Amino acid sequence: MNNVHIVTLGCSKNDVDSSMMYSLLDKNKYQMVNEPSQADILIVNTCGFIDAAKEESIDTILESVEYKNEGRCKKVLLSGCLAQRYPEELIKEIPEIDGIIGTGNIDYINELLDRSLAGDLFIKTDNLNSAYIEGIRKEVVNTTEYVKISEGCNNNCSYCIIPSLRGKNRSRKIEDIYSEVEYLVSKGAREIILIAQNTTDYGIDLYSKYSLANLINKISKIEDLKWIRVLYLYPDHFTDELIEEFKNNDKLVNYVDMPLQHISDDVLKRMNRKTSKEHIIKTLKNLRKSVPDIVIRTTFIVGFPGESDDDFNQLVDFIEDIKFDKLGVFEYSKEEGTRAASLDEQIPDSIKEERKNEIMAIQSEISAEILSKKIGKKLEVLIEEEVDEENYVGRTYMDSPEIDGVTYVHSAKNLEMGSFVQIDVVDSLDYDLVGEII
């Protein structure tokens, strides 16, 4: 029996892929272990989205190679986006790598393990647009679980390499997603987070219409499911039916993660975004009118090629006007293989950094103002961490795990991890809340 450990880098979609690889392991030959030091085989599930992610992946691969050089593991294998993007280059530069599977070849995980142990260099990255593999059955289920509803993306934004790494949009069938969610809930999951490269495109390939609202409505019928959260809701196909689902479905938390990337029509056009300033503002205002307590999170890219002072000022004015509850900013990363990499008027790194810092300073004040208005309100909190006997850390519906803030909870009685409790909000910080158990 060989011990296998997977190091997962990048986004929550990679977490799902790692769970899939674990579930597909031949249990007669391989078993999972929690620590890399215990592993006979290390698999690095890489990210290759932007330069910083690529650097982290390379560093992690080199750390894994050290385990091998020191005799603690037999094989180092790669999967994920960086592996899909640069298989030959990685093998050439890091010859200690013993095999690679790409993003569309997860179902070859056992062949990868078998062949590497036999001494073969197995590389398979050719099945980019493969159908989604069904059948995740996790041995350990958390209170919050991610469920991938589709793979790939049809957007072809000019700055993004993802369609080249993940293929075209391929939606899963509603009944298959329902079965997975039903299983996870039966094992203790209470919050399900639906993810994809672009969740609002869900179903268009299978059902010839955008079907996210229908999917949410179906899985909300699962009795013990408490919260449904959806990430990566692009604005271009944010349907009226979806807004109605947010308005009327008690299990769908009023939290919208909508990556906008910019507001200037000139920049949006160069980004090849399928939307406009007018459409974005209309969608946001419609959301807030229909669902008054909606929490909206977004991300922007600053320093995109050709972003003028006027473009940037439009973005600043938009942020100050809309007052997003949550906001992240990325400096544009020039990625080879994308159309944006060849555009004129590349912006100096110093200006990118200045623009990012300016927006984050504005957002810090906006966030503090919004959260200060929560003082005195009663909120429901999912408890996730015990600090000491009387202090805990959790999340409200307003916060997605790892990317948003938290709520600090004081309680004289013991609280169970994964429980939902009611609190009075007594204080606020820039991005977090402080509450006391009711």
**Residue 47 among known ligand-binding residues:** yes
Q: What HEC string does the chain produce?
A: CEEEEEEECCCHHHHHHHHHHHHHCCCCCEEECCCHHHCCEEEEEECCCCHHHHHHHHHHHHHHHHHHHCCCCCEEEEEHHHHHHCHHHHHHHCCCCCEEECCCCHHHHHHHHHHHHCCCCEEECCCCCCCCCCCCCCCCCCCEEEEECEECCCCCCCCCCHHHHHCCCEECCHHHHHHHHHHHHHCCCCEEEEECCCHHHCCHHHHCCCCHHHHHHHHCCCCCCCEEEECCCCHHHCCHHHHHHHHHCCCEEEEEECCCECCCHHHHHHCCCCCCHHHHHHHHHHHHHHCCCCEEEEEEEECCCCCCHHHHHHHHHHHHHHCCCEEEEEECCCCCCCHHHHCCCCCCHHHHHHHHHHHHHHHHHHHHHHHHCCCCCEEEEEEEEEEECCEEEEECCCCCCCCCCCEEEECCCCCCCCCEEEEEEEEECCCCEEEEEC
Cβ 329 vs Cβ 299: under 8 Å: yes
**Kind of pairing between the strands at 391-395 and 378-388:** antiparallel
**Residue 73 among known ligand-binding residues:** no
What is the spatial distance between Cα 105 and Cα 165, in angstroms, rounded to a whole number?
12
Residue list for the binding site: 11, 47, 81, 153, 157, 160
Residue list for the binding site for [4Fe-4S] cluster: 11, 47, 81, 153, 157, 160
